[in-house]
A and B are shown apart, each in its own frame.
Chain A
Amino acid sequence: MRQDFPLPDVTWEPAREFWAGASRSEVLIPRCTACGAYAWYPVARCRRCGEARFAWTRMSGRGRLFSWVVVHRAFLPAFAAKVPFVAALVALDEEPAVRLATNLVDCVPEALDFDMPVRAVFRPLRFPGVEREVMAPMFVPAEG
C-alpha cells in the first residue's frame, strides 16, 4: 500500500481530473463526448454507447443526500481521530445516478434527512503522519 494511504493518489489517471478540479473548488465528472451520458465511476468506454472519449464537465456542486452513515469505529487507524464522522453518498442534481462518496460536514447527524438538498464545500483531507493534504469535495446542508 502507498505510504500516504488513505490519501488519494491525485496522479492516478482515471481520477486525476477529479482531484485537479477539487483543488480549484470544482466538482468535475467525465461525460461521454458522443452521447452525453455521465460516466461515474470512471470507465474505459461509455456504458451507454461504447465511446472511449470523455470530457470532464463542471457540475453545479448541488445534489441530494442519497444515504449516509455515522462511522463510530475507525476501520483504518488513519481515521481514529475523525470518528464519529458522517460518510455519505450524494446524488448530483445534473444526474442523480451519479453518486459521490463523500463526507457531510458542518452538520448535526440527527438533522440529516433523505434527499435533502446539499452543496459542495472544499476541505482538505489530512491524515496523521502524512505531510501532504488533498482538497476534496465534501457537502453541507443547503437551502432548498
Chain B
Amino acid sequence: MRAVADSDWGCPTPLEDIAGEIAIVGVGESAHTRASGRSPKEIAAEAVERALADAGLPPSAIDGLMYAPFMGGQFDAAAFHAYFGTSHDLWVSERGGGMVWAGTAPYDAALAIRAGQARYVLNVFSVAWATQRAEMVGGPGQVHAEDLVKQNIEVPFGWFPQPVYFATIARRHMHEFGTTAAQLGAIAVACRRHATLTPAAVMHDRPLTLADYLASPPLVDPFRKEDCCLISDGGGAYVMTSVARARDLRQPLIEVAGVGLGNSYTGTYWSQQGAFTSTPQVFAAPGAFAMAGLTPADVDVLTLYDPFTIVALMQIEDMGFCRKGEGGAFVEGTALHFDGGVLPYNTHGGMLSHAYVLGIAHVVETVRQVRGEAAAQVSDAEVGVYGGYTGPQASTLILRRR
C-alpha cells in the first residue's frame, strides 16, 4: 500500500455559482443499436425530436444549441434548421455534447440564459461508431493513434488504445489498494442487471453474473471484455431553460444544483499522470457539491461516464462516495444496484451495458430518475449526479427535483 503522493497533477476550473438558476425540462434518446447504417446527424435528429416532445416545446422555441464540433458529423445549427425547416437565430456553443461536456453544458447554458443570449437551450450528441467500427476509420482509438506523441513513443510498443491504458491503471490500482477482479466485476454486473431492466439498452437481453464475469477470458489482462464499454450507434439530447420558465412547462422541475470541472495537467498522456490511479474528479466534485450545498451522502442516484470498470471505481472514490483506495470494498455485492444498494449507479446500464453514447444518455437517465420515471427506478430519488470524464478533464453535474 502506498499513499497517492503527487498532489500537484491537476486543478479545478473556477466556476461562477449557477445553483438553482436553470432546469432540464426535456430529455430524449435515439434508438441505441449495433451498426445501424445511420449518420450521426440522423441519429441526433431522432433524439432531439423526442427531447422537444418531452419538454412540450416546438422547434421554433429553441434559441440555443450546444454541440461538440470536434466529433464528426454532429447535429449543428445547419442540421437543426434543415431537419425542422426553421431559420431563426440560434445562440450556438461548441462546448456541448457528451463526455465532460454533458456535465458542463448546463453551466454554459446558465450563463447564456442569465445574459439573455438564449431562453431554451438544446444540448445534443450522437455517434455512429458501430457503423464506423473499423478502428482506424473513426471510432474511439483514432484520436489517440493520430496523436504524434503517442504514435511515436507509445503505439510502437502496443501500449494502445484505451483498453490498454486503463487495464494498466487498473493493475496499479490493484497493487496500491488491493482491488480485486471480483470488485471490478461487481460494477459490470450491476450495470448489466440495470440494462436487462431497461428495454432500450443494447444489452437488455444478455444477463451477466459475477461467475460469468470471472469465467470470461482476458482481453487485456487484467481486463476482460466485460470491463470495457460497448461500441454502439446512438445519441441523446436535453433541453434547458430558466427555473422560472421551467415552472410553466409540463415536466417536474429538475434544477441544476451544482456543476464542477477538474483538470489533469498530463491530459491523455495517462502514463505520465502524477496520481496514476486517480481522475480529475478529485478537482471537479468538491466544487459541484459546494455549489449545491450538498454532500455525497445526499446523492440518491449516480451515473458515471464509464468507458471501463476501473474508471467508474476511481471516480466513485475521487468524488468522495468513499475514501481513496476503498472503492473496491465499497462496490462489492449489490452496493450499486438500484433496489437497495447503498449507491444506485448507472441505473440504465451505463456505457458498459446500455449504450456507448459517451455520457449524454447518462444525463438523460439521471433526469428520469429524479423525475421518478426511469425503467429501473430508485425509490424516491431526489438528488442525482452525473460524473463526466475525458482524461484531461472530469465534470460533476448535480440535479435536484424541486
**A residues whose Cβ falls under 8 Å from a Cβ of B:** 1, 5-9, 12, 14-15, 18, 40-42, 47, 66-73, 75-76, 79, 82, 85, 87-89, 97, 99, 101-103, 109, 114, 125, 134, 136, 138
Contact = CB atoms under 8 A, between A and B. Distances in A.
Contacts of A82: 158
A67 B153 contact: no
Interface residues of B, number: 40
Contacts of A134: 156
A6 B151 contact: yes
Contacts of B152: 8-9, 12, 14-15
7 contacts: A6-B151, A9-B151, A12-B148, A69-B220, A73-B163, A99-B271, A136-B156
A8 B158 contact: no
Contacts of B136: 1, 76
A13 B51 CA distance: 49
Nearest to B173: A67
B184 to A, nearest CB: 14
Contact of B221 (A6, A18, A69): A69
A18 B157 CA distance: 14
A70 B218 contact: yes
B271 A89 contact: yes
A54 B148 CA distance: 20
Contacts of A7: 156
Nearest to B222: A69
Contacts of B269: 41
A87 B172 contact: no
Contacts of B175: 67, 114
Interface in B222-261: 222-223
Interface in B155-174: 155-161, 163-164, 167-169, 171-172
Residue among B135, B154, B175 with most chain A CB within 10 A: B154
Given A85-B158, A103-B158, A136-B156, A70 B220 contact: yes
